[in-house]
Amino acid sequence: MAEIPRRGVLRTVLAGALAGGALALAGCSGSAILPAPDLPTTPVILDEAAAAAAISRYRASHGLGPVVIDSSLIRAASYQAEANARAGQLSHEVGGTFDARLKRAGFGGRYAAENLSAGSTTFDDVLKRWQVSPEHNRNMLMPQVKRVGVARVDAPGSRYKRFWALILSDG
């Protein structure tokens, strides 16, 4: 796989929710900034180490190295999951541009990608959804990736109820 700098890549969009509306996925970049209805939200405490281990196992099955949890990427993922939950919709731009959000979180790497999703109840469920989505799968299988941050924020009053963000980077 070719090396892809974060500034030029990851600017795709998966259009809309999958059939039946049971799950929404957003690709690698965004749509226009959405008006935020400011829905009540609840951050969910995740086992980030278990999430990193699951991603590492998946990457190993494709001949790639493991990932570790990064606190700055958790902050960035939490911020974006919260912004999407408050808006009740998925957008890579609702919390600001990807580059700006990474900079605010103290990210200093060269390669980064973001996977968003809504509706999945567990991390295993959302991981399976990302694996079958070409754009999300490509992000998880970037050879340069070494660090991840994952977050889930619930918005019970929204259509999807649960909003996920995964940020992957090289450092």
Domain presence at residue 22 = no
Does the pLDDT value for residue 151 go beyond 90?
yes
State the total domains in the chain: 1
13 versus 160: which is more confidently predicted? 160
Residue 88 domain flag: yes
Within-domain flag for 135: yes
In a domain, 24, yes or no: no
Q: What is the pTM of this model?
A: 0.78
Q: Is residue 36 part of a domain?
A: no
Mean pLDDT (whole number) for 1-10: 33
List, for residues 41-57, the tens digit of each pLDDT value: 877 888 999 999 999 99
Look at residue 70 and tell me if it is in a domain.
Answer: yes
In a domain, 131, yes or no: yes
User: What residues make up the domain containing 136?
Assistant: 48-169
Q: Is residue 27 part of a domain?
A: no
CB 7 within 8 A of CB 68: no
The CATH number of residue 155's host domain is: 3.40.33.10
